[in-house]
Chains A and B, each alone.
Chain A
Amino acid sequence: MKMKGARILLECLKQEGVEVIFGFPGGAVIDIYHELPNYPIKHYLVRHEQAAVHAADGYSRATGKVGVVLVTSGPGATNTVTGIATAYMDSIPLVVFTGQVPRMLIGNDAFQEVDIVGITRPCTKHNYLVKDLSQLPRIIKEAFYIAKSGRPGPVLVDLPKDIMASVIKPEYPKSVHLRSYNPHYQPNLKQVKKALELILNAKRPLIFAGGGVIASSAHEELTWLARELKIPVTATLMGLGSFPGNDPLWLGMLGMHGTYVANMAVNHADVILAVGVRFDDRVTGRVDTFAPSAKIIHVDIDPTSIRKNVQVDIPIVADCKEALMTLKNELITIKKKKDISDNYESWRDKITAWNEAHPLTYVKSDEVIKPQFVIEKLYELTGGDAIITTEVGQNQMWAAQHFRYLRPRTLLSSGGLGTMGYGFPAAIGAQIAYPDKLVVDIAGDGSIQMNIQELATAVWYNLPVKIIILNNSYLGMVRQWQELFYNRNYSSTHLEYNPDFVKIAEAYGAEGYRATKPDEVEDVLKRALSSEKTCVVEMVIEKEENVYPMVPAGASLSEMLLV
């Protein structure tokens, strides 16, 4: 049967199992929007295309499924770029469909024309311009396969308007054939054996988990291994939730705003098992002094991650789950032959001592609300049973430090790109994926204003997302750097004028709450958390509170500024 291009596209999405699309219509995609209501795919209309991508990203991080976006050409397409780059840096699988001007106009500077394939080439895993309708089913199949396989990432498909309006008899491919793309999942057994031997002979081993553990659902294997051998665990921001945050072996996050104990453990470890990490500069600090006495085992599915920033002793290119399962099986085999004694007791004692010397803390107050106190209260009231999203800056670091993530996919945060304005639309995506779960965006007064228009989306779709604005009337993280390293020159970081966030919430039809004193925090949180509506909770916090510990940029992890 002959079909219009727009319907072939939607048929393909149906075949890929797409249930949800985030988007915003426009001239170049009217044909698609015209057909959309006839398909069992729920479309969520956002108020800005950037938010569509972040929402699809949040949906993907919360579920592990591929997030799907549909926007128009030109400005619709360019507005997606920040969202795409965010997903690319954090390896989140998305397929973004952009409209394009008709083929005969491409290159003519037509109305709402932009070379989005050229623009997004460096921030997508791959992208396509569809030039022939007969190729569309193959391209869509490849796009989804590429997005979710190997190291996941965003894929963009550019759809010229005339192709969506023309008609052919489609042929759907059953499988994908890409001779130049074959992700490598199975680990090299020899390398795994070498790694295990190194760990078993270590005196001060440390497990260091990243986003790859969550992407490959390797958290159970990781947790098993750590508990079996009683090895302490730290994680990157992206890895929070890959190991239970209330386990005695848990050290907290490492890096620039990592805990004292995690950074000291890295500094003194003799073997580090790094799983699904990429040794980002926020994690390593000064790279030539990172883990000076450790032999490093690095498991990652992406060969380019290995030896990019640090030298590695045992590289294992594999899917994290496959690698950890192989490690587990090897360990079980060894255990059948001989007893493995616990050799790390004195190491753990040392770690306990570091933790007792400098636990994660802050100066408490009865007068003014401390942001850390708000996060602690939130954890206490939810018991950790919530999906937390964050914006970027101090709010993000306090949320990472003071909330305990017990399960994977419970912290959604822009780690690599550091995108302010990410958290709220991501929370919308997560809430759509899990209507019955509590979804909380921990925001700052600066970040929330970067996508505050999405209150309209949240209210319209009855999404009970909670936004907690830690309002210090500053772009707090930049102000903190200015205070510590730029002679307190608060250039352009004081938000002397902020809107009334409670009234904004009410104007959009959401509920607004405000707390200005510590003794109001619990009550306000309880009221918001029990509400079935979209809620904005403004916490007027200490203006010049800093995030500690802090490793100054370019310093070694051992050079921490403490409270």
Chain B
Amino acid sequence: MRHTLSVLVEDEPGVLSRVAGLFSGRGFNIESLNVAPTLEKGTSLMTIVTEGDEQIIEQIIKQLRKLITVIKVVDMNTVRTVEREMILIKVNAQNSSRAEILRIVDIFRCKVVDVSIAEMTIEATGNTEKLSALISLLQKFGIKEIARTGIVAMKRSMQLI
């Protein structure tokens, strides 16, 4: 099963290598990994999407907690979360297909961020399902390049209803 892990780490040289090395050294799988500073000076938040059965996920979490530079690990699958990923897609956009591509951009509430005679670059944000649907719709025009951030996730606030 896929799990999204939020890993709060000390922001110091080598910390990414410690985390990535742990995954490769123990044969765990990283589907995506995103890292950026938090508001608190000196700490960064990593969002790691990984896959494994219950026992493997338990090991991954324990092994991460064992690293001296890891402050906190939360398995986001155990809480209600908002998960988002951003993607940039460069797609073939000849005269004949431009209108249809723009319609898709509209439906998915994405943005065209760059355009040339033959290509368009689209920026989209969403969860994994939405982005996969967008990619599959754009595939018939010919996707030339793709870049994605990997998932970032956040625990939802307490819900009132």
Q: B-contacting residues of A (Cβ < 8 Å)?
A: 117-118, 121-122, 125-126, 129, 146, 178-181, 302-304, 307-308
Contacts and interface: CB of A to CB of B under 8 A. Distances in A.
Interface in B17-54: 17-18, 21-22, 25
Contacts of B21: 121-122
A377 B27 CA distance: 46
Contacts of A308: 59
A179 B71 CA distance: 7
8 contacts: A121-B18, A122-B22, A146-B68, A178-B68, A180-B10, A180-B71, A181-B68, A303-B66
Q: How big is chain B's contact interface, by range?
A: 20 to 34
B interface, over-half SS: helix
Sorted from nearest, which 9 A-B pairs have the closest CB atoms?
A180-B71, A304-B62, A126-B68, A303-B62, A122-B25, A181-B68, A304-B63, A121-B21, A122-B21
Nearest to A128: B14
B145 to A, nearest CB: 31
B70 interface: yes
Contacts of A304: 59, 62-63, 66
B58 interface: yes
Contact of B58 (A118, A181, A307): A307
B65 interface: yes
B40 to A, nearest CB: 11
A317 to B, nearest CB: 10
A200 to B, nearest CB: 30
B17 A118 contact: yes
B24 to A, nearest CB: 9
Interface string B53-86: 0010011001101101111100000000000000
Given A304-B63, A307-B55, A117 B68 contact: no
Given A121-B21, A122-B22, A302-B66, 5 more contacts: A180-B69, A180-B71, A181-B68, A303-B65, A304-B66
B68 A180 contact: yes
B2 to A, nearest CB: 21
A121 B14 contact: yes
Nearest to B55: A307
A273 B138 CA distance: 60
A68 B65 CA distance: 27
A298 to B, nearest CB: 13
Contacts of B13: 129
Most central of A121, A146, A179 by chain B CB within 10 Å: A121
Contacts of A121: 14, 17-18, 21
A122 B17 CA distance: 10
A180 B8 CA distance: 10
Contact of A125 (B14, B55, B68): B68
Contacts of A126: 68
Contacts of A180: 10, 68-72
Interface in B100-156: none
